[in-house]
């Protein structure tokens, strides 16, 4: 029997009588400490989308990383706090048991807004950059990199990591093609995770590897399920940049387009860095 895709394995939820879910981290998304944040964000979103009371499709997701997520069991508690005619507002808590006290603690919180989309005037104000096709871009070798990086196929375009870490200053924009590895049809959970694949802008700007950690991460979904289905498992085009790096925190913006040049999602995060 074929093994599930690593992301689908991490997204497996065990429903509880009170409407919450039990899930488990997956070794395929291991980061320096705990799981890759994008996979955690995907899981929090997925807990809302799998809830029987969910209305519509995702419009926005904000994840606040209050503390480290440990490897092992996770208790996801999604709660609809208001339902309107076309939008629904959710709060989600990710809880884990403190091995010292035996008590559950909140490590991560999220807010999710879902919506019933209706056909209206639609246009992208931010055009996809003109870049070579994914097949014409070099594949990045991540076989010796952190485990979660191996869950993606990377095709570099511009703004790669410095070849020499010498404290020189570089522009903060980078572009790449990326998809799940092994290939997996795009859905809202995987799209949320893809919005977090970009390496920290401070590493590029300073040509120095310093400790970093995302504090808050927001995704705005512009695509509906039909656009995601049309994309299938093809590479998406990503672009990331920063606007300010100051006093221990920097912001990081990102856009993802489909193969037709239509915007799929935009994201913004604030990240802690240490000298």
Count of beta carbons in the 10 Å neighbourhood of residue 238: 24
pLDDT recorded at residue 32:
85
Residue 223 lies inside a defined structural domain of this protein: yes
pLDDT in tens, 223-245: 999 999 999 999 999 999 999 99
Is the whole-model pTM more than 0.75? yes
167: left (phi over 0), alpha (psi -120 to 50) or beta: left
pLDDT score of 1 more than 80: no
Q: Is residue 96 a part of any domain in this protein?
A: yes
Tell me if 125 is assigned to some domain: no
C-beta of residue 25 within 8 angstroms of C-beta of residue 69: yes
Identify the CATH number of the domain in which residue 173 sits. 2.40.160.210
Q: Residue 215 falls within a domain, yes or no?
A: yes
Q: Model confidence at 275, in pLDDT bands (50, 70, 90)? A: confident
Contact 211, 202 (CB under 8 A): no
Identify the pLDDT of residue 2.
78
In a domain, 124, yes or no: no
22 belongs to a structural domain? yes
Residue 145: band (very low, low, confident or very high) from pLDDT cuts 50, 70, 90: confident
Task: State the residue range of the domain holding 217.
Answer: 6-116+130-273
Domain assignment present for residue 121? The answer is no
Does residue 182 have a cis bond before it (omega within 30 degrees)?
yes
Distances (CA, A) of 14 to 4, 56, 74, 188: 16, 22, 10, 20
- Domain total of the chain: 1
Is 199 part of any domain?
yes
Contacts 24+ apart (CB under 8 A), 270-273: 270/214, 270/215, 270/216, 271/200, 271/201, 271/202, 271/212, 271/213, 271/214, 271/215, 272/212, 272/213, 272/214, 272/215, 272/248, 273/200, 273/202, 273/210, 273/211, 273/212, 273/245, 273/248, 273/249
List, for residues 192-214, the tens digit of each pLDDT value: 999 999 999 999 999 999 999 99
The pLDDT tens digits of the residues spanning 151-195 come to: 999 999 999 988 899 999 999 999 999 999 999 999 999 999 999
Q: Give per-residue pLDDT as tens, 72-115.
A: 999 999 999 999 999 999 999 999 998 888 899 999 999 999 99
């Amino acid at each position: 029997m074929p093994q599930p895709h690593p992301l689908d394995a991490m997204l497996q939820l065990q429903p509880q009588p009170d409407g919450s879910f039990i899930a488990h981290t997956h070794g395929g998304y291991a980061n320096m400490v705990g799981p890759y944040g994008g996979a955690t964000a995907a899981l929090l979103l997925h807990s809302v989308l799998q809830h029987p009371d969910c209305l519509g499709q995702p419009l926005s997701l904000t994840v606040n990383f209050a503390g480290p997520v440990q490897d092992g069991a996770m208790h996801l508690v999604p709660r609809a706090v208001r339902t309107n005619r076309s939008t629904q507002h959710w709060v989600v808590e990710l809880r884990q048991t403190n091995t010292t006290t035996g008590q559950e603690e909140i490590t991560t919180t999220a807010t999710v807004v879902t919506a019933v989309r209706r056909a209206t005037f639609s246009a992208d104000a931010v055009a996809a950059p003109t870049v070579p096709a994914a097949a014409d871009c070099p594949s990045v070798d991540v076989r010796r990199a952190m485990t979660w990086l191996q869950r993606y196929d990377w095709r570099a375009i511009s703004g790669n990591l410095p070849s020499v870490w010498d404290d020189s200053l570089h522009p903060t924009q980078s572009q790449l093609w990326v998809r799940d590895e092994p290939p997996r049809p795009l859905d809202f959970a995987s799209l949320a995770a893809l919005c977090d694949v970009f390496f920290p802008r401070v590493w590029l700007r300073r040509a120095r590897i310093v400790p970093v950690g995302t504090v808050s991460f927001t995704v705005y979904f512009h695509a509906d399920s039909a656009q995601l289905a049309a994309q299938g498992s093809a590479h998406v085009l990503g672009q990331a940049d920063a606007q300010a790096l100051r006093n221990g925190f920097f912001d990081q913006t990102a856009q993802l387009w489909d193969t037709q040049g239509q915007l799929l999602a935009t994201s913004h995060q604030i990240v802690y860095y240490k000298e």
